[in-house]
Amino acid sequence: MFRISLTKNEWRLLIGFLFLCVPLVLYIARSLDDNRLTSWQWVFATKGVIGLFVFSLLGVVVALPLSLLSFSRFRVLFLFLLSFCLGALFWSEPEVIVDAARYFSQAKHLELFGIQYFFREWGKNIFAWTDLPLLSFCYGLIFKYFGETRIFIQFFNTILFSLSVVLVYQLGKTLWDEEVGYCAGLLLLAFPYLYTQVPLMLVDVPTMFFFLAAVWAFTRAMQCGGNGRIILAAVLLCLAILAKYSSWPFLSVLAVIFLIYLARSPQASLKRVAALVLCCLLPLMMFFISQQEVVVQQIKFLAEYQKPGLERWGESFISTFFFQIHPVVSLAALASLGVALKKRDIKYVGIAWVVLLVLVMQIKRCRYLIPIFPMVALMAAYGVCRISDRRIRMFVVFAAINTSLVVALMAYRPFLLSMGEMNLKDAGQFIDTLAVDGVEVLTPITKEVAVHPKITVPLLDLHTDKKIVYQDLPVSRRELDNHATSPLRFTWEFQSPKFYENGNNVKPGALVVVSDSPELLLPPAALEKIKDFSRIDRFQKSTGVFLHQTFVAVYHN
């Protein structure tokens, strides 16, 4: 067998060269990326390879001095601050996924009518689709006590993202050692797609936090016992269950972790898990009994609609693990499997379980895989830590982070800022400059569209402090049937909140038209309203790659 003998500097040059080759290879093979939001086919459609190469080179060069730093005494603080600062770089992007309209509407109901109303009407007068209430409840509390401002939501989600990075570090440290945990925390920052989700008013990044927190707390409870640890694990498990339905299969990893500790200490493990289950039972039973009808309908709907739908809406594993995650991270995770088998490390099974589950169940939707990203980072760190020289190891880690940031900042972020949803943000900020108390929104449908435009009303409301007045458009049975298998079906079934219809007790001083067509063709009723206004400002950004477009016109005096 041949053995490569290189000096440390020669290894650095070789590794740096390979890291420069990776983005170039991905750029050439970008037609393989079928991601539905940040496909390399789209984000690099107007960008050349020279800029990608130059900034990747800069990222590799900067990784050299970073690899010399230890931060051994302040690793938790360093991981938290670094991840928070990187996540905050993406706060300027708009709400690029229309699902945010549901969570905003649910949260605003709590803000306006209180906690009791929220839980009483959730799934009834509050349109819940297939959502669980935890994150909408959190968002509603933020609106109620801090103000209905998007920046507070972004701050909250970025905090959870940073805490996830810290928890990965803690979990790796608990299972193996501090070095594995530290590398894992850093490698979670080498997921370009993840940055695009941090600022959004969705549930995916918070679900990642609650899932990871439940796994970490459960592991600590099984390992060390203690009433405090068991209660904490029970609370976090309840929160993880109430975050998102799609994370439930991943929670099966807790059974795997339990079996690992059961083999070591049967009696203690059985007592601890029994106490934990009893702590979980009462709050979960109270919720599911009180919401039995809604939950049963949602689960049935998920089985009949979403499960088969994923086969049509899926994205390839090549896209997710080589374009949306830095390929070095994915390859290191794959290599770690061989290391674990050689060492017969049973603890590794608890981490690899969820990734294996994804492969077996063929879950091919990148957003649904966000909760398992920390486990991929842990597997990768387990593999990377086989590199004995610490400085070379950290050079690999920081080079992965920096070149991922290049893609996220140079390609993903500009692309998202050019999407039609940016028109809602720009229009909302413009409306705030007008001397009016409220605006009336019209959403005419002038052609066959994939998304019902009424879903844009809550998104506009999220971006403006002015009161919104809107009369919901009726949807015919034929239109519902035409979109029965659409991934955006909920936009046609969405129940526009009643608080828009009552006029918000204000007289609209401006008119906003949201349309799928840049021509803004209007029906006679809308033309009649427009004649009372003398000026128009248009917002017409568009990437040109999506079927759904959002164009906004503001009519005012």
Mean pLDDT (whole number) for 24-51: 94
pLDDT value at 314 more than 70: yes
Continuous segment of H or E residues that includes residue 554? strand 551-556
φ/ψ region of 326 (left if φ > 0, alpha if ψ in -120 to 50, else beta) reads beta
Three-state SS string over 481-536 comes to HHCCCCCCCHHHHCCCCHHHHCHHHCCCCEEEEEECCCCCCCCHHHHHHHCCCCEE
Residue 3: what pLDDT?
54
Cβ–Cβ under 8 Å, residues 184 and 230: no
Q: Summarize pLDDT for 249-283 with one digit per residue, the tens.
A: 999 999 999 999 999 899 999 999 999 999 999 99
> Per DSSP, what are the bridge partners of residue 442?
513
Could you tell me the residue ranges of all domains in the chain? 75-96+149-387, 421-556
Neighbours of 195 (CB within 10 A): 24
Cβ–Cβ under 8 Å, residues 475 and 496: no
Residue 501: what pLDDT?
83
Mean pLDDT (whole number) for 447-453: 84
Q: Which two tokens stand for residue 227?
A: 């009433």
Residue 305: what pLDDT?
83
Rg, C-alpha atoms of the chain? 25
pLDDT value at 396 more than 70: yes
Q: Look over the chain and give the mean of its residue pLDDT values, rounded to a whole number.
A: 92
Q: Summarize pLDDT for 172-216 with one digit per residue, the tens.
A: 999 999 999 999 999 999 999 999 999 999 999 999 999 999 999
Largest separation between any pair of C-alpha atoms in the chain: 84
CA dihedral 314, 318, 319, 321 (to 10 degrees): 110
Which amino acid is present at 72?
A: S
Residue linked to tokens 């879950």: 363
Mean pLDDT (whole number) for 20-38: 95
Contacts of 347 (CB under 8 A, 6+ apart): 175, 176, 260
Which amino acid is present at 419?
A: M
DSSP 126: B
pLDDT value at 55 more than 80: yes
Q: How far is 325 from 22, CA to CA, in rounded Å?
A: 12
What share of the chain has pLDDT > 90, as a percent? 77
Mean pLDDT (whole number) for 474-479: 85
pLDDT value at 2 more than 60: no
pLDDT value at 474 more than 90: no
CA dihedral 456, 461, 463, 465 (to 10 degrees): 160
What share of the chain has pLDDT > 70, as a percent? 98
Residue 47: what pLDDT?
86
Which of 242-245's residues contact partners 24+ apart within 8 Å by CB, and which partners? 242/132, 242/133, 242/134, 242/287, 243/132, 243/134, 243/135, 243/203, 243/206, 243/207, 243/210, 243/211, 244/131, 244/132, 244/135, 244/203, 244/204, 244/207, 244/371, 245/130, 245/132, 245/298, 245/299, 245/302
Distance from the Cα of residue 538 to its chain's centroid: 30
Cβ–Cβ under 8 Å, residues 383 and 339: yes
Confidence band for 503, pLDDT divided at 50, 70 and 90: low
**Is residue 302 exposed (0-12), middle (13-18) or buried (19+ Cβ within 10 Å)?**
middle
Looking at per-residue confidence, does 372 or 557 come out higher?
372
Looking at per-residue confidence, does 160 or 307 come out higher?
160
Which of 347-354's residues contact partners 24+ apart within 8 Å by CB, and which partners? 347/175, 347/176, 347/260, 348/379, 348/382, 349/256, 349/260, 350/175, 350/219, 350/253, 350/256, 350/257, 350/260, 351/175, 351/375, 351/378, 351/379, 351/382, 352/379, 353/252, 353/253, 353/256, 354/250, 354/253
